Amino acid sequence: MFCLDPKKILWNQELGKGSYGKILPYKSKSDDEDQWVVKHIIAINSKKFISCMNEIILGFSCNHPSILPIKGYFLEEVDSKPKRWEIYLKLPRMIGDLRAVIKEYQRTNTLIPETDIIKTFYALVLGIEYLHEKKITHRDIKPDNILINENGELKIADIGAGMFIAEDDTSVHLRGEEVFGTRGYLPPEVINQKQTLKKRDLYWIDVWGLGIVVLEMCFGRVKEEEFSKIGLEKIFDSLKSKYSFNLLELLRRILVIEPSQRILPNQIRQELERQFPHLLSDLNNLKLCPETMNIFQQKKMSDQKEKIQEIPQISKPPSEIKIQSSRASTPFKSNEEQKNQQEKDFEFDEPMFQEMRQELQEKWKDMFEFNLTNGFEISTKKEEIQDQDIIKLTAELQSYGEKSNKLKRLESLSLNLQKYCRISDEGAEVLAVGIGENMNNLTHLTLNFSNCDQITGNSLRVLGAQLNQKLRKLEELKLNLRNCNGIDDQGLTAFGNQVNDKFKKLRHLELDLSANKNITAEGIKSLFSQFKNNLTNLHCLSLKLEHCNFVKDENIKTLILNLDGSTPKLQSISLGFSLK
């Protein structure tokens, strides 16, 4: 345990401040201590002083990767009227909090990547489970108290609101000193103050707070008046097309109005490990993705720019100013030369992909075939492919994406799973999210799920969301859902609802829904109504509905008429039917 030496605090270099006080740099000759800061708190009353001491006691007693550690403190009693205490806590240097992440994604009207949400979810539940095992309840879980370091790791902070819970079943009335916390993150039974709880039931405050934090990452700020079964169900319905079924279902089990019916932290952890093993197998990789971390880099650059603008202007005339550079002068390049250089920088790096193909082929030689004939092609070699195989393959591709951003330059992907693979929504949804997260520069995408009859409309919703949010450069989409009898009209409608004006670049669309027993003319009409309004750049359309019982001459005419005049650039329509 390190001690805090007040002489090493840089008093004149404030890093940040808030209602708690301010953050100051802490420096020494040791490189290790360069990563520490000091949180300076002024306690002007005994309640604040007790809270600070509580944070010190609890902080020193915790040793967990998801809990922000306290490595030293210094306490000074100031002889003044009224009396006050100045407390200095030595903490690791952090670069921001989860609130900043949520706000930035809301500002740009984009979804937080599901991989970030799952990793955040898991890191927090590990920390909460650890606290509860030590008989500690945090009581103030919220995005502001989830701090992020420069490596993208998350830490639960501000443990001063926490308390030790006795082993007995002593009842408590929900007064302020027992509850603490922040309105908006407290469960309904606390807000309404209608019931007396056992002290051990205060653990539910942390569980509910965790659920609201994760829901905010998916949806945005949740109002207290929405803390009802009907209100929460409306929110979950609005998220069906944006995030996976497994994630939303787990949140439903947390945000239950009746406290005794809520899932416990250890159960949440186990469910996350079972549902998302491809993301959570490495505990050292519970980090936010580079795209999210870029938020803090941009803020840092913005802050530096503001500081530069504050520098007084040079009073010397231009003729007296000399510019020196440590670099050799760069020859001037014409616009054409610059363009050629950019194209060279971003050309397809075939050796890199050949190496990746060879490694994957060696590892998966009994299950998949990998080719680079026309972009990146993956095909199944046997029929016994399961969800876990697809999840592991997706994780493997993601690891290549993390090693090098060159995978994001991939423009064409073809995935052929037509040999009666036994995959369900679990594997298909993970695959869709993996493609969106790691290959968002794709212009050509082929997905062949022919005969995968365990896939339902949930997978189509997730795929549609990825196309909407991540794969906006897509020009050609080929989707084969032949004989996928788990897909019905509702699934088609959910997919169609994601087809909006962000699909402006899509020029070629092939959709095979042949032999699907649960699709009717109404589902096709719903899908085409979205195509009609939004696919204004479509040049070529191919639709196959062979062996579909509902197909009749009038229905064919209706489909064609629905597109007439609404897609002015449409040059080719291919409709494959077998009339019955």
Domains of the chain are: 6-92 (3.30.200.20), 96-291 (1.10.510.10), 348-577 (3.80.10.10)
Check: CB of residue 261 under 8 Å from CB of residue 103: no
- 107 φ, ψ to 5°? -60, -40
- β-strands 476-480, 508-512 pairing: parallel
Contact in structure between 13 and 24 (CB atoms under 8 Å)? yes
Q: Is the pTM here over 0.75, yes or no? A: no
* pLDDT tens column, 485-497: 888 888 888 787 7
CA distance 239 to 230: 15
pLDDT value at residue 339: 42
Residue in this structure with the two tokens 């077998």, named with its chain if needed: 578
Instruction: Choose among 182, 114, 110: nearest CA to 146.
Output: 182
Q: Are 269 and 90 in contact (CB under 8 A)?
A: no
Residue 116 contacts residue 290 (beta carbons within 8 Å): no
Tally Cβ neighbours within 10 Å of residue 375.
Answer: 18
Per-residue pLDDT tens over the stretch 131-187: 998 888 888 899 999 999 989 999 999 876 666 665 544 444 444 444 567 888 888
What's the Cα-to-Cα distance from 489 to each of 458, 495, 517, rounded to whole Å? Answer: 12, 10, 10
Contact 521, 554 (CB under 8 A): no
Compute the chain's Rg from CA coordinates.
28
Segment holding 388, helix H or strand E: helix 387-403
List the pLDDT tens digit at each of the 580 positions of the chain: 346 777 788 877 777 776 567 888 887 655 455 578 888 888 777 667 777 777 777 777 788 999 998 888 887 777 666 667 888 888 888 988 999 999 999 888 899 999 999 999 999 999 999 999 888 888 889 999 999 998 999 999 987 666 666 554 444 444 444 456 788 888 888 877 655 666 666 788 899 999 999 999 999 888 777 777 788 889 999 999 899 999 999 999 999 988 888 899 999 999 999 999 988 988 888 899 888 888 877 765 555 444 434 433 333 333 332 322 222 333 333 444 444 443 343 344 556 677 778 888 888 888 888 887 667 888 887 767 887 788 778 877 776 666 666 677 788 888 887 655 778 877 787 788 778 777 878 888 898 888 887 888 778 877 877 777 777 788 888 888 888 888 888 888 878 777 665 667 788 888 888 888 888 878 877 777 776 666 777 778 788 888 776 665 456 556 655 555 556 666 666 666 655 4
DSSP-assigned letters across all residues of 292-355:
HHHHHHHHHHHHHHHHHHTSPPP-S-GGG-----SSPPPPP--HHHHHHHHHHHTS--HHHHHH
pLDDT of residue 577: 63
Contact 166, 91 (CB under 8 A): no
Residue 572: per-residue pLDDT? 62
Q: Which residues of 247-263 are buried (b: 16+ CB within 10 A; e: fewer)?
A: bbebbeebbbeebeebb
Distances (CA, A) of 243 to 166, 262, 398: 39, 21, 18
List C-alpha distances in Å: 353 to 68, 221, 389, 404, 519: 40, 42, 21, 11, 39
> What percentage of the chain's residues is helix, strand, coil (to nearest 5)?
45, 15, 35
Bridging pattern class, strands 572-577 and 540-545: parallel
